[in-house]
Structure 1
Amino acid sequence: MLTALLLCAAGLLAVAALAALGRGGRSRAEAATIAVYGGCLAVSTLAFVLALAALLGGASAGLTVPLGLPWLGAHFRLDALSAAFLVLVTLGAAGASLYALGYGLHAEAPLRVLPFYPLFLAGMLLVPLADDAYAFLLCWELMSLASWALVLAEHRPEENARAGFLYIVMASFGTLALLLAFGLLAGPEGRYAFAAMREAERGPLASALVLALAILGAGSKAGLVPLHAWLPLAHPAAPSHVSALMSGVMTKVAVYAFVRIVFDLLGPPAWWWSVPVLALGASSAVLGVLHALTENDLKRLLAYSTIENIGVVFLGLGLALAFRAGGQPAAAALALAAALFHAFNHTLFKSALFYGAGAVLTAARGERNIERLGGLIRRMPVSSAAVLVAAMAAAALPPLNGFASEWLAFQAILLSPDLPQWALKFLIPTVGTLLALAAALAASCFLRAYGIAWLGRPRSAAAAEAEEVDRFSRAAMTGFGALCVLFGLFPGMVLDALAPVTERLLGARMPAQLGEAWLSIVPIADSRSSYNGLLVFLFVVASAAMAAAAIHRFASRALRRAPPWDCGFPGLAPSMQYTGTSLSQPLRRVFGPVVFRAREVVEMPLPGSVAPARIVRRRQDLVWEFLYVPIGRAVGRAAELLNHLQFLTIRRYLVLVFLSLVLLLLGLGLWR
């Protein structure tokens, strides 16, 4: 099984090599597009079947390949944790490749995308299989550099170039943090294999540094606040199927890195390890959705929503750390299962939403401002239905999968009074309150986005002339939308599949779910709580059917058609509809002044003046203003000072090298 998965990665690398050799006109570019994405679809589907079989069958294997460092080689291993994330990675890759078979034909410069797309998939496939620090970081860098090239595929717009620069800076910073974390785990002996890291002993200070570096390294790639600055810039710059992979899949590879380091390699946790993880997770959930509420750019809105969902995932991981340190393995298994389940769910609904955004870009001639869309539900009925299901899942509405995973997270929060630490007894209920706030704001966010972009009347000629997209794009959207419904109605099958992961990391698992009556999920015991998505779905359908029947039976038996009430203003125009800005204004006034310094300035002309009235809105990202801008200035000043080093004489260079060597040897001696 492991060998077959490595051969799949090799197949993707071969597809990338063939794509790099492709040249020619538009017709050859279209043929290359179909060949590359078709090959990626076939390989990803095969890898998905293999990973799912390994997860369900409990396969575990290791392999050393004579590559890389001569004395180390490249170690690869397939276990329950890597198999679970490989299922997520390959499913997302297969969906994106299917979508790209149609969407990729509309690309302006496909040959800039095709060579790097298989490389990106190969890097994400290899990271969960790596079993030593060298192989892990090599595959991590392959994933990062390939995705950076994809972000810069359309590099001419200035904002895209800026997004690519910021992304590569943050990616380099994250890789450096992970490199230092693995160095501390390996110790002075240089034991870079993961098996040796598990057996090593380290003090509390070294463990705390590894935790901090893991948060920085994995959090920067996942988009955890305050390391999220690259994400809302890179996602709109990349092609939509690449945005779906970066948001739905690559961020989960970063979650895998955090879980592998903190839950597997670092050893038993201290209770306070959960505090920064919980705080950052809750902050990301709330700040991400608040920024999404104020966005009019459809892809930037979805990017900020990703930050919110990554916060929910890390919130579950923080709960698992707290319960594990508190000696409650069953509660820790529940929290970890909730986090992994939500990561899987986010891959499904966020991929479908980015596919929908790409469909809008294709159908509406590149328009992605929701204020200039509208009426798409009539022009694109299949795409609109799929996006509606995904939006409801992202809003955590029952009976869809987003609700099921967040409900499990709340069940884990309700177990916090049993923890012995008083700090956690106060912190976790606060985090639960923020999670509830984020869920409510997410519902408002997607109500606004879908209502403005897909409902109402077209607000521009591009929206009025939109047409349904190709069958491949529709198949990818509807397929992932159907999975959102399936795993919302039957979440027990996913939780049972994740049980080997929690058992491998925590020595405990949730109770078996598929044997419960009516396919309910019971996270702890029947006496505590349970949830049945199928019964909720049947109740919703029955209630809606009875309400419709009652209205048609008792209200009127006749079908009447009449123009809508115009409030006494005949000749309704699209500009008279609600806008996204007007819908978000109350929330912006409540949270905006604190969260992003939102300001509204109304300029009213004097009586008799013919000057127009103006409303000027301003908002700032406080994290950017107070963290990244000072760091950028400091780096600039340091670069100016260090610029003098290139004008030193050879004697001064030799002295500098000698002093650096002495300092390194001194540090190594003190470490030992």
Structure 2
Amino acid sequence: MDSMTLFIASLAVSCIGALASVLLIKADNAAKTAGCLIGAVAAVLSFIAGLEAVLGDVSSLNTVFFFPFARLELLLNGLAGLIVVLISILAFAGFIYGLSYFDEYPGKVGRAGFFMNTFVASMMLVITADNVFWFLVAFELMSLTSYFLVVIEENKNSIKGGWLYFVIAHVGFVLIMASFLLMTNGVGGSFSFSDFRTHDFGPAISSVCFVLAFFGFGAKAGIIPLHSWLPQAHPEAPSNVSALMSGGMIKIGILGILKVGLDLLAGSGVQLWWGLMVLVFGSISSVLGVVYALHEHDIKRLLAYHSVENIGIILLGVGASMTAHALGNDVIATIALMAALYHTLNHAMFKGELFLGAGSLLYATGTRNMEKMGGLFRRMPVTAVCFLIGALAISAIPPLNGFVSEWFTYQSLFNISTLSDPVVMVFAVASAAALAITGALAVTCFVKAYGVSFASSPRSQEAANAKESPAPMLFSQMLLAAICVVLGIGSPVIAPVLGDVAQSVLAGSAVTATSGVSLVNEISGAATSTPAIAIALVVLTGLAFALRSCLGAKAPAKKTDPWACGYEPNEHMPVVATSFASDVELFMGPLYTLREVCTKICWSIAHVFQKLTGVAQGVEPLPDRFLVDAPSEGADKLAGLASKIEGGNYSVYICYIVAALVVFLVLAVVMV
């Protein structure tokens, strides 16, 4: 069975899952089981289809529809296949996780199953749509279904976060639509992406189209300053949905930027300043994202801000690729795009795992506030180990997957800094510095998040009574944690595959990303080996335990309470989230002020939409009032008068006839 057939089958199964959830909406357990298991089957089918596309089985679908502009055109190539694969993995983990986690939403399980299945299907359609009409329809469906998942709890915070997300998503949608319609106008009205790829729009039109698309898709991806909806919306959604949104949906923003900049506008050529602009926004988003995360005590808001950070890191690779491509160096462009695609995949895995871990903490303690956690390693050991793997991966600690993609990103920035253009060198060096700052702060942030949540002593009764999550929730976390390890240690096998995907996007030269079990930079000759690092860590850890065992055999360690300056130790004395990040927060004070400004701007946009909605509600009935209501009222009055005249009395009818005859006789006399 070819990849497109499997892909269509997965969409059909997702629709069945959504329908089953609705039909069983009054029976929570049945709706949960049907919606989640059927959704998991759909995810397996789409995973196989996407993997086949990544490995080179490109397939397409082109069917006749009622209107020429609405032809159903789908394209499943290497780039689309990669995004399908990562969303399929997250969807599978999320649906299995939901078999237990959805118990926290009594009376709403059927709705959750319907919208989650529809959400996954709409994302799959956006990824593969090769036609403006279907792309925009699927994009809008994706935004609407995710909005309903965000507000599913129907409390004040979820409605507030959902409204901001709804507004920013539609601002982005308008910009994307404007970009596509400009391209449609340029090719004589065709809605087919295949016609865009071969057309030269000219530098002016292509630049306008790219800028519109960059900010439109950037709103969906969460780049600064269009990021404010992420920390408002992601924490309010169910945690498995948060994993899908953060790990999967925002990657569609990256896909859109790549699709427009390197695919649909390929006939016009990439402009150098496009790449430099992407580098600037990538640098700002990466640094500010992690700075804002450091300030958070809500673990899901912290993870949402790290999504902004990692989108920035991905954009550094995208910007480096576009810059090198504009300067005609296809080898560097391919390496940089490979780095961006690798980090796109990596971020989906470790961020999905971290959100599922945060959901387990919420499930066990009833709070997202890290200040009220502590001591959870002993009570939730599997969740603790999985969360630790995710934290190490997102902090780019070798040999895990985050290290690999960030290593290639560094190499890409170093490579473009060696090109002859001095302006490019300045941007590349500044971007590399931003990435270094981001990495240091990310380590600090996750030392805080992990240490405050899992180490020390419980700081609330709920944390003290916490128990490990149910098996389905643990399975999903272990699955994603294992993939993080495989993507890191197995990078010598995976990097060449992603290099081929990058080459297919750029239609450029093949690159050498590995040599044996080492990752290599073909340009500079730099190399590293994650398998070797993994072996070294295992050996050193074993030696450390052996040495400790030998030295401590005669004098076993004694456990005592820490000295607290003469006071009795209590839960407030250990380092907590507030004190841990206080020095960084003091230093970064102006940046937090900037965040408040950006947030106010986004809310101002939301308030404008709210006022426009109010105006529309006042204007909408006016045509009915004058064009429909007035004639209708007149007809009613005439009918009332007629009913009074027509009373059913024959004597009165005879009088009417006599009166009419008199009138006609008078008229006849007058006319004569």
Give 1:95 deviation, angstroms. 1.4
Distance (Å, rounded) in 2 between the aligned partners of 1:136 and 1:17: 23
Distance (Å, rounded) in 1 between the aligned partners of 2:138 and 2:606: 29
Give 1:83 deviation, angstroms. 1.3
Give the counterpart of 2:543 among 543, 546, 551. Answer: 546
- Amino acid corresponding to residue 442 of structure 1 in structure 2: A
Distance (Å, rounded) in 2 between the aligned partners of 1:141 and 1:134: 11
Distance (Å, rounded) in 2 between the aligned partners of 1:37 and 1:647: 43
Structure with the greater alpha carbon radius of gyration: 2
The answer to whether structure 1 residue 281 and structure 2 residue 288 are counterparts is no
Contact 1:595–1:622 (8 Å) recurs in 2: no
- Amino acid corresponding to residue 308 of structure 1 in structure 2: E
Distance (Å, rounded) in 2 between the aligned partners of 1:310 and 1:463: 33
Distance (Å, rounded) in 2 between the aligned partners of 1:439 and 1:568: 36
- Amino acid corresponding to residue 284 of structure 2 in structure 1: S
If the length of structure 1 is used for normalisation, what is the TM-score?
0.88
In structure 1, what is the equivalent of residue 75 of structure 2?
Answer: 77
Give 1:509 deviation, angstroms. 5.2
SS in 2 for 1:467: coil
Identify if the C-alpha distance between structure 1 residues 513 and 212 changes in structure 2 by more than 3 Å, giving closer, same or farther: closer
The answer to whether structure 1 residue 201 and structure 2 residue 200 are counterparts is yes
Give 1:640 deviation, angstroms. 8.4
Distance (Å, rounded) in 1 between the aligned partners of 2:66 and 2:565: 76
Identify if the C-alpha distance between structure 1 residues 563 and 501 changes in structure 2 by more than 3 Å, giving closer, same or farther: same
In structure 1, what is the equivalent of residue 534 of structure 2?
Answer: 537
Distance (Å, rounded) in 1 between the aligned partners of 2:146 and 2:595: 27
Distance (Å, rounded) in 2 between the aligned partners of 1:486 and 1:630: 44
In structure 2, what is the equivalent of residue 356 of structure 1?
Answer: 357
- Amino acid corresponding to residue 378 of structure 2 in structure 1: R
Give 1:457 deviation, angstroms. 0.5
Give 1:352 deviation, angstroms. 0.5
In structure 2, what is the equivalent of residue 174 of structure 1?
Answer: 172
Distance (Å, rounded) in 1 between the aligned partners of 2:29 and 2:574: 41
Report matched runs for 1:256-655 at 5 Å.
256-267=255-266, 268-364=269-365, 366-508=366-508, 511-513=511-513, 516-517=515-516, 519-524=517-522, 528-554=525-551, 557-592=554-589, 594-597=590-593, 621-625=596-600, 627-629=601-603, 631=605
Contact 1:151–1:234 (8 Å) recurs in 2: yes
After alignment, is 413-422 or 429-438 more displaced?
413-422
In structure 1, what is the equivalent of residue 241 of structure 2?
Answer: 242
Identify if the C-alpha distance between structure 1 residues 433 and 464 changes in structure 2 by more than 3 Å, giving closer, same or farther: same
Give 1:222 deviation, angstroms. 0.8
Identify if the C-alpha distance between structure 1 residues 318 and 373 changes in structure 2 by more than 3 Å, giving closer, same or farther: same
Residue by residue over 1:311-332, the C-alpha shift from the partner in whole angstroms, topping out at 9 and shown as x without a partner, is 1011110110000001110000
Matched-pair identity in %: 32
Distance (Å, rounded) in 2 between the aligned partners of 1:67 and 1:456: 63
Distance (Å, rounded) in 2 between the aligned partners of 1:510 and 1:480: 30
Contact 1:371–1:580 (8 Å) recurs in 2: yes
Identify if the C-alpha distance between structure 1 residues 305 and 480 changes in structure 2 by more than 3 Å, giving closer, same or farther: same
Give 1:23 deviation, angstroms. 3.3
Contact 2:335–2:511 (8 Å) recurs in 1: no
Contact 1:40–1:94 (8 Å) recurs in 2: yes
In structure 1, what is the equivalent of residue 12 of structure 2?
Answer: 10
Give the counterpart of 2:62 among 61, 64, 70. Answer: 64
Distance (Å, rounded) in 2 between the aligned partners of 1:555 and 1:21: 63
After alignment, is 232-241 or 89-98 more displaced?
89-98
Identify if the C-alpha distance between structure 1 residues 556 and 341 changes in structure 2 by more than 3 Å, giving closer, same or farther: same
In structure 2, what is the equivalent of residue 20 of structure 1?
Answer: 22
Contact 1:382–1:474 (8 Å) recurs in 2: yes
The answer to whether structure 1 residue 187 and structure 2 residue 188 are counterparts is no
Identify if the C-alpha distance between structure 1 residues 647 and 372 changes in structure 2 by more than 3 Å, giving closer, same or farther: closer
Distance (Å, rounded) in 1 between the aligned partners of 2:619 and 2:118: 37
Name stretches of at least 5 consecutive residues in structure 1 with no aligned partner.
Answer: 598-618, 654-672
Distance (Å, rounded) in 2 between the aligned partners of 1:59 and 1:546: 47
Name stretches of at least 5 consecutive residues in structure 2 with no aligned partner.
Answer: 628-672
Distance (Å, rounded) in 2 between the aligned partners of 1:103 and 1:350: 18
Contact 1:223–1:307 (8 Å) recurs in 2: yes
Identify if the C-alpha distance between structure 1 residues 270 and 461 changes in structure 2 by more than 3 Å, giving closer, same or farther: same
Identify if the C-alpha distance between structure 1 residues 476 and 638 changes in structure 2 by more than 3 Å, giving closer, same or farther: closer
- Amino acid corresponding to residue 133 of structure 1 in structure 2: V
Distance (Å, rounded) in 1 between the aligned partners of 2:610 and 2:149: 28
The answer to whether structure 1 residue 163 and structure 2 residue 161 are counterparts is yes
- Amino acid corresponding to residue 6 of structure 2 in structure 1: A
Distance (Å, rounded) in 1 between the aligned partners of 2:555 and 2:406: 44
RMSD between aligned residues: 2.3
Distance (Å, rounded) in 2 between the aligned partners of 1:293 and 1:34: 38
Identify if the C-alpha distance between structure 1 residues 423 and 97 changes in structure 2 by more than 3 Å, giving closer, same or farther: same
- Amino acid corresponding to residue 13 of structure 1 in structure 2: C
Residue by residue over 1:255-311, the C-alpha shift from the partner in whole angstroms, topping out at 9 and shown as x without a partner, is 111111111001220111112211111111011111110100011010001110011
Distance (Å, rounded) in 1 between the aligned partners of 2:170 and 2:528: 43
SS in 1 for 2:227: coil
Distance (Å, rounded) in 1 between the aligned partners of 2:114 and 2:476: 22
In structure 1, what is the equivalent of residue 114 of structure 2?
Answer: 115
Give 1:342 deviation, angstroms. 0.3
Give 1:14 deviation, angstroms. 2.2
Residue by residue over 1:563-587, the C-alpha shift from the partner in whole angstroms, topping out at 9 and shown as x without a partner, is 1331442531111111111000010
Contact 1:6–1:126 (8 Å) recurs in 2: no
Distance (Å, rounded) in 2 between the aligned partners of 1:227 and 1:407: 27
- Amino acid corresponding to residue 381 of structure 2 in structure 1: P
If the length of structure 2 is used for normalisation, what is the TM-score?
0.88
SS in 1 for 2:568: coil
Distance (Å, rounded) in 2 between the aligned partners of 1:512 and 1:339: 16
Contact 1:352–1:477 (8 Å) recurs in 2: yes
Distance (Å, rounded) in 2 between the aligned partners of 1:145 and 1:309: 25
Identify if the C-alpha distance between structure 1 residues 495 and 508 changes in structure 2 by more than 3 Å, giving closer, same or farther: farther
